Structure 1
Amino acid sequence: MITDVTLSRINHGVALHHQRGRRAAARDLFTRIWAEIGAGRGDPLHVCVLAHAMADVQDDPHQELLWDQRALTAAGSLTDERLAHAGVPMTVAALYPSLHLNLGDCYRRLGDLDRAREQLDLARTAIGALGDDAYGDLIRAGLNQLARRLAAGNPPGPTP
């Protein structure tokens, strides 16, 4: 169970977006939290999770890419102990497949297929850290979808 108040607020924003379709409301909440945590200078866990979520509510794929890059950068400063202390039930290594998936899909939508393939390869290299659970299944399915889209010559649309 997540015990970190900031992560709980971020999860609320994710629910606004994914469960209620309130993308703008989620983006507004994320913007407030981003200011409260000191932007990119805050706790790397908060920065990583918030940037990862903020990327999903961007209308401009260039802005989405910027947020995805922020999330990946912040992940480099995380520790398994920090995740455990916050009640996050996974290792830092398990974050990387999703981070690389999002970057790969963003590069694909921007037409940079070489970088998209690089990110797909990085995600596949890290996939062993995923658990045999719903989260792992979701990320593996997304990676398979990205691979199919790249193999098919980049058909339009976001990868789930």
Structure 2
Amino acid sequence: MNKRREATSEDGVLTRIGQAIMLHRAGDREEARNRLSALWHEIGPHGDAFHRCTLAHYMADTQDDPRDELDWDLRALEAAEGFVTERPDRGGSAPGESSVADGPGPRHPLVALRAFFPSLHLNIAADYAALDRTADARAQLLRARASANALADGEYRQGLRDAIDRLELRIDRAAGRTA
């Protein structure tokens, strides 16, 4: 019974994040930001890494100031990096592989957190570009490209690669370089 209650609680957090995202996409940026902020405080600094990463990732999109957007994107990256660790599994995985993220709270597949990395680095690159921090933006683009290349082939990977290319072109144009 406790496992069922935990699963419902887990689904509830992701559902609430999804509802806030829908509000944002429908144009109610302030209400989305308010709900995500309340949920961020509810989850707390030691809450589930997947939830913290997801929430901060979307909270960044609700910000009006590019510096605030960067702060939230960095929080999302910190949450993902803090819990994605390589360690020998004590169970059925091959040596050196781990199928879960470490940390307090529920466990999530590493692949779910790892799939965030290209998007997180891309968002941070865009934040730096908006703040005219070109060198930082380019460094994040390199990280975005490397982590996208580590993903399995598919639409998500290709979409990320295309977005990385578009941002790189935009940065080059802003710097007066031609491609």
TM-score by length of 1: 0.82
Aligned residue in 2 for 1:63: 68
Aligned residue in 2 for 1:10: 17
Against the structure 1 CA distance between its residues 26 and 137, is the aligned structure 2 distance closer, same or farther, given a 3 Å change threshold?
farther
Match of 1:36 among 33, 39, 42: 42
Q: How many residues align?
A: 150
TM-superposed CA distance for 1:41, in Å, is 2.8
Tell me which moved more, 45-54 or 128-137.
Answer: 128-137
TM-superposed CA distance for 1:91, in Å, is 3.5
Aligned residue in 2 for 1:22: 28
**RMSD over aligned Cα, in angstroms?**
2.4
Structure 1: stretches of 5+ with no match in the other structure: 156-160
Q: Which has the larger radius of gyration?
A: 2
Matches of 1:14 and 1:154, distance apart in 2: 33
Against the structure 1 CA distance between its residues 12 and 154, is the aligned structure 2 distance closer, same or farther, given a 3 Å change threshold?
farther
1:151 aligns with 2:172: yes
Q: Which has the higher contact order (CA 8 A, sep 6+)?
A: 1
TM-superposed CA distance for 1:92, in Å, is 2.7
Q: How does 1:63-142 map to 2 (within 5 A)?
A: 63-79=68-84, 80-82=99-101, 90-142=111-163
Structure 2: stretches of 5+ with no match in the other structure: 1-9, 85-98
Q: Is the 8 A contact 1:14 1:53 kept in 2?
A: yes
Matches of 1:153 and 1:26, distance apart in 2: 32
TM-superposed CA distance for 1:32, in Å, is 1.1
Aligned residues: percent identity?
40
AA at the equivalent of 1:34 = W
2:144 is paired with a residue whose SS is helix
Tell me which moved more, 125-134 or 6-15.
Answer: 125-134
Q: Is the 8 A contact 2:20 2:32 kept in 1?
A: yes
Deviation digits for residues 74-102 of structure 1 (CA, Å, limit 9, x no counterpart) = 0013345259955x794332211000000
1:48 aligns with 2:53: yes
